[in-house]
Amino acid sequence: MKIVSYILFPLICTHNIYAQEYKQKEIDILAFIEKNFPTQETEASDRESISYERLYETFFQLYSNPLNLNTASEEQLLSLYVLSHPQVQSFLHYRETNGMLISIYELQGIPEFDVETISKLIPFVEVNTQESQKISSLHIIKNSQNYLLIRGSYPLQLKKGYTIENGYKGNPYQHHMRFRSTFGNAYSFGFTMETDAGESLWNNSQNIYGSDFYSAHLLLKNKGKWKALAIGDFQIQMGEGLVFGAGFKIGKGAETVLTLKKYNIGILPYTSVIETGFFRGAAASYSHKNINILAFYSFLPQDGSFASDSLNNESYVSSIITSGLHRTTKELENRNSIQEQNIGTSIWWKKKNLYAGINSIYTLYDTEIKKSDKQYNQYEFAGKQNTVSSFFFALQIKNIQLFGESAVSQSGGVGALVGMLISIHSSFLVSILSRSYDKNFHSFYSRAFGENTRNINEQGIYWGIKWKLHNKWLLTGYYDFFSFPWIRYNADKPTNGNEYLLRLTYTPHKKTTLFFQARSKEQIINYLEEEKKTNALTSSIKRNFIVDLHHKSTVLLSFKTRIQWSNYDLLGNTTYGYIIAQDVSFHTKKIDIALRSAFFDVDDFQNRQYIYEKDVLFAFSFPSYTNTGVIMYILSQIPLSKKISLSIRYSIMQILNVQTLFSGLEEIDGDTYSHARFQIKWNL
């Protein structure tokens, strides 16, 4: 079988050897995310819950530390969100039957694998025949992957916050430094430093020395029965994310059939610059036969917004702030003002096609938390401590995968979901998921599937399909019905809504991809009745459409054209918005250049247009646009030597018929905003 695959693969892919293409240059991870995950079709609330920075960081970690196909487990392969369960089963059967892979080219000879799937998979995997053998410490040191990255961002127009006395305390520049050292499935070590624009580089009273945010981790993996030992900053992914939902929350998009289920990844290093949503302390994972045990302790200061009760002469935290920004006097006062401790454990059992387990976490704050006295906050968390525990499972029955998790918090609120992935045919996949989160269910580190930003006050059922109509045609889509049993912000009564999406992708050949996508979302919201001066409820409908064409003209040159538009209906009034973007990319061994010019015309905030933009390596750029204007940017990546590369990005935006841009301390005089970013990456 291996000999046959060596012969067939080069013949089939002679003009496009995917393994070589992806390993010879660093891929555009954001472009990969844009193609395979929900992006432009999302609303603001969806974007907050998905957290694209976390999504990016997850795939960056996978790219920096690829899975070894010879040792990767079923859970690890599925957690890539590239392979379906039948494809993973087919791969594992091939590896069990034929032994360790010798070359990445063998993937072509595995049933269920096609060229498109392989091209998506290769950036995040490798074939290493040594890793399963005993490797000396000296070998690990010599062959580890190490890099140092330094980045600076510089706006070319000053915002109001930098020019007034009570504005921002720091300069308008953002600085970022990251070091990472990894070796296969053995260890990960690294640290990150970042100062956001407007933050001070030095503040003794706030313990700010050189940078506003520091993060470091050491993760040792697969040391005998100890599967993971972590010190520093880490995350945990277990079950379906109702208790431990590390990394990111996948939203509803064209590929949700594959991303609907979460997997037991366990302990992960934390390398993001997002300053909340992770643990800081120590964690360990131990495995004995079919039993796995994970335990951890975390102590991490959080930013809190304080309020006072004059009657009882006491103060409390009204909310935990997640922005991570410390630019003004008030933001600095809130910095690290509440101490959070977490103790947790996960125990699970696995045998063949079944696994089941329990999760539990206890959270303790040093200051009482109490939300503002509004009706929709009546069932929100209040107090100093919280416990949430869950039971989770997954079962494979032929071509059907069942999974679920049920959790209960200290308040008595219950959160539960149960789902099913069905492979009707290798070309036709179906997914179904039902969820129910009580109005008093409180889980601070949950990122399970849902419509809301948090897993609270929601019920719903989701259906999704992925149907390969032909070698050149792919149809994906979903329908989701959801309801909110209790009132919420901007809805004074229990409400419901629905959403659907369809995407049709046409790939006439490997160099060209065209897709059309339609999405509609209807929900009930408040509106103000002028005569009665009170809120009433009405239906709102938002529709999004995308046409996207990508063509690789030559080895050096590629083009991409995107047209996306939307309309928003409320009380019989319809507003509109659109953006047209043209990209040109030029690649040689000496330089990469990417250019974009775009025009947008957006009636209002409800039709704001989100669009992915290329940025320097490992940076994140996914802005939204309103009003009428133009955007242009140029990005160049230049190798200075075999180990050092320089990236430079310049962007400019002009809004027509305005006197100022943005608002508040972010206000800029004039109609133009430009920005430059520089980055050096040194492979040590």
Please classify residue 117 by burial: count the beta carbons closer than 10 Å to its beta carbon, then call 0-12 exposed, 13-18 middle and 19+ buried.
middle
pLDDT at 57 over 90: no
Nearest to 38 by CA among 25, 26, 48, 23: 48
Lowest mean pLDDT among 228-237, 291-300, 337-346, 614-623: 614-623
**Residues contacting residue 517 through CB under 8 Å, at least 6 positions apart:** 41, 254, 501, 502, 503, 504, 544, 545, 546, 548
d(CA 537, CA 549): 40
Of the chain, the end-to-end C-alpha distance in Å amounts to 39
CA dihedral 570, 572, 573, 574 (to 10 degrees): 80
Please classify residue 22 by burial: count the beta carbons closer than 10 Å to its beta carbon, then call 0-12 exposed, 13-18 middle and 19+ buried.
buried
Per-residue burial over 311-340, b if 16 or more Cβ lie within 10 Å, else e, is eeeeebbbbbbeebbbbbeebbebbebbeb
pLDDT score recorded for residue 52: 60
Per-residue burial over 633-649, b if 16 or more Cβ lie within 10 Å, else e, is bbbbbeeeeeeebebeb
Q: What would the two tokens of residue 547 be?
A: 């046409």
Q: What is this structure's pTM?
A: 0.86
Largest CA distance in the chain: 82
Report the Cα 147 to chain-centroid distance in Å.
23
pLDDT at 14 over 60: no
Nearest to 370 by CA among 411, 317, 410: 317
Q: What average pLDDT does the structure give for the chain? A: 85
pLDDT score recorded for residue 169: 92
More confident of the two residues 318 and 363: 363
Mean pLDDT is highest, among 34-38, 141-145, 425-429, for 425-429
Average pLDDT over residues 547-574: 92
Query: What pLDDT band is residue 250 in, cutting at 50, 70 and 90?
Result: low
CB 129 within 8 A of CB 95: no
CA dihedral 264, 270, 273, 274 (to 10 degrees): 40
Q: What is the pLDDT of residues 192-207, one digit of tens each?
A: 999 999 999 888 777 7
CB 477 within 8 A of CB 254: yes
pLDDT at 248 over 80: no
